[in-house]
Amino acid sequence: MTAISATSDQEQPGFEEALSELEKRVRRLEAGDVPLEEALRLFEEGVKLAETCHEQLEAAEKRVAQLVRTRTGIGEKDLAEGS
């Protein structure tokens, strides 16, 4: 299992990698068979991974909105509203 470091000089994992690592940590925590200290470490890493995923999803949403606005001349639609 790869540990995710909080240092800013290391490259963030891609969305799919971060999501996969987050899912691994969640499964370990849900199994309930980890010692307290390891559970805390897994939880902290999971929070960082969730933040990474959230940031990357927000960035992708902004890119899509910009592409829609500039390429089609259509006004920007709030993607959170759905269809």
CATH number, domain with residue 61: 1.10.287
- The total domain count for the chain is 1
- If you search the block for the tokens 């897994």, which residue do you land on? 42
Q: Residue 44: which residues within 8 A CB-CB, separation 6 or more?
A: none
37 found inside a domain:
yes
Looking at residue 15, its pLDDT comes to 95
By residue range, what is the domain housing residue 62?
15-72
pLDDT digits (tens, 9 = 90+) for 16-42: 999 999 999 999 999 999 999 999 999
Q: What pTM value is reported for the model?
A: 0.69
Question: CA–CA distance from 62 to each of 18, 51, 74 (Å)?
Answer: 20, 17, 15
Going by pLDDT thresholds of 50, 70 and 90, the confidence category of residue 12 is confident
